[in-house]
Amino acid sequence: MDKLQGQETPPFKSNIPLIPTPVPSPQVNNLNTTNQIVPTCTPTPSNAVFRLGVGPNTGNPVPTPTPSSTTVIPQSSDDVVLNNIAITGVGDFFSIGYNSSGQLTGRFTIGNVLTQSYQGRVSLIRTGLVGNVKIADFTFTPTLTNPLANTTNGPFTSTSNGWAIALNDVASNQKDYVVTFKVSIFTPATTHTFYFNFSIIPFTCPDYGYKSLDIISVTDMQTILLNPCCECYPQGYSGSQIVIDNVTCDPTGAGC
């Protein structure tokens, strides 16, 4: 067997012609360096026409909307009235006190006649994990009395005594013995909330006509606290010694 240095002689002759490797033509650029020309393919134009958008003549189908899992109830004219009053704080009135049975009783009123009645609730605001304390549920009803006094009213009376301890507890821990009541009116569209501040006076004040633990206005409470003895007993008193906020009131009213 004939051998060439470092190469074996093929055992048979191949009749398959070899395809010559194309040699790229050199191209000289401005920097006098040679680049190879890489062959490129020219794309064949497509007959398809693409258009933006959806629907007819675009090739893009109109997507099917996904139905909403919640139904949004539109607000009524009553919602607009209640919302405006809640925002401005004008046009509403809230009273609260005790009846002869020791229950909390009162009324929530607005100076507008709504188109229908709604359910309402009065609660005592209490911060922390314990949450608010319900005082009473009521019906908020339009009242037609005369053209100058048409209103919507919600009288209420407490149905349990759970509020009593909470009321005193909240007041004793607040400046000016302030407590906040929340009134909620429930319409099909939303819940409207109104807030009212009062003070719980912790002592008797005869000159103002208040008994201990009465629910009074914050303004009155602030005035009384400036000088409780003179505000409540300006003419003095008889009987047992009276001490308010660690101050002994003069039984003759001296200094007032």
List of domains in the chain:
77-200 (2.60.40), 217-256 (no CATH)
pLDDT of residue 3: 40
Q: Positive or negative CA dihedral for 63, 64, 70, 72?
A: positive
pLDDT, block means (10 residues), the chain with 256 residues = 43 51 53 51 56 60 66 89 94 94 94 95 84 93 76 91 83 90 97 96 95 95 96 93 92 91
What's the Rg (C-alpha) of the chain?
44
Q: What is the pLDDT of residue 15?
A: 54
Query: What angle is formed at CA 92 by the lines to CA 150 and CA 74, rounded to 5 degrees?
Result: 85
Whether the predicted model's global pTM rises above the 0.75 cut: no
Burial class (CB in 10 A: 0-12, 13-18, 19+), 156: buried
The confidence score (pLDDT) of residue 4 equals 40
